[in-house]
Amino acid sequence: MNQVFPLNNEKSWQSLLVTDEKLFVINRSYDNPNDFMKGFNDEGLGRLLKSKKEIDVQYITGLQHAEKEPVELKIVHEKKIMLKFRNPADLAEVATWLAGKRLLKMNTQQLTPLKAIQRQLIGLALIALFGWVLYTEAKTIEEGGTIDFSGRRAGMKRLMAWVAEQLGTQGVLIVAGLAIAACGYFIYKNIKTPPNQVVYA
């Protein structure tokens, strides 16, 4: 195989090149192998802003992905690396090829309840954090106070303050409450019936 696949890892990998001997990933977008390798090997000024990695196919010992509509493929190498594809079809093509190349056997396993809700727990924590920040800012604005926009991320601070002003304390409580309730529903659903994952080993 000698094919480029677009990736969707936020702030990291954007392209994957699969060859017979190695996998190459880079934080830039390419659509053909020649341009990919030129960019991968380029040692110009852009190297300071470039992240790249290569993986020997012969040292891949396992693969993991969700059973239904998977877009994230975990490759077990010296260290685990997560690749997020733009669609399940690309993931399936890469996983099937790697499994065949490495003679890996496919098994379906049910996630433990804790693993099944890890993302929801992180989401719940983030919702609670942002909800608290928005509520305190909305309360400050309603009481006639001012928000400090100095320092780093002034733009983000202004955006948060604008949202807080638009929603008000009651609006923040309602929106945060609905988001927490939705997150709680998915936590309950995944604990009750943990999803399956496909494991190649």
- HEC-encoded secondary structure of 7-76: ECCCCCCCEEEECCCEEEEECCCCCCHHHHHHHHHCCCHHHHHCCEEEEEHHHCCEEEEECCCCCEEEEE
The mean pLDDT value for 189-193 works out to 84
Q: Determine, yes or no, domain membership for 92.
A: yes
Q: How confident is the model at residue 61 (pLDDT cuts 50, 70, 90)?
A: very high
Task: Quote the number of domains for the chain.
Answer: 2
The whole-number pLDDT of residue 132 equals 94
Are 127 and 100 within one domain? no
Q: Determine, yes or no, domain membership for 28.
A: yes
Q: Determine, yes or no, domain membership for 109.
A: no
pLDDT exceeds 70 at position 156: yes
Q: Determine, yes or no, domain membership for 200.
A: no
Q: Determine, yes or no, domain membership for 201.
A: no
Q: Determine, yes or no, domain membership for 164.
A: yes
Radius of gyration of the chain (CA): 22
Are 130 and 74 within one domain? no
Are 67 and 121 within one domain? no
Are 15 and 44 within one domain? yes
Are 99 and 125 within one domain? no
Are 137 and 79 within one domain? no
The whole-number pLDDT of residue 196 equals 85
The whole-number pLDDT of residue 47 equals 63
The whole-model pTM stands at 0.68
Are 120 and 61 within one domain? no
Domain coverage including residue 150: 115-195
Are 55 and 141 within one domain? no
Question: How crowded is the C-beta side of 145, counted as CA atoms within 13 Å?
Answer: 12
The whole-number pLDDT of residue 174 equals 94
Q: How confident is the model at residue 14 (pLDDT cuts 50, 70, 90)?
A: very high
Q: Determine, yes or no, domain membership for 110.
A: no
Residues 6 or more apart in contact with residue 58 via CB below 8 angstroms: 21, 102
Are 65 and 154 within one domain? no
CA pair distance 10, 7, nearest whole angstrom: 9
Are 91 and 119 within one domain? no
CB count in 10 Å sphere of residue 22: 13
30-45 pLDDT tens trace: 999 999 999 999 877 5
Are 123 and 167 within one domain? yes
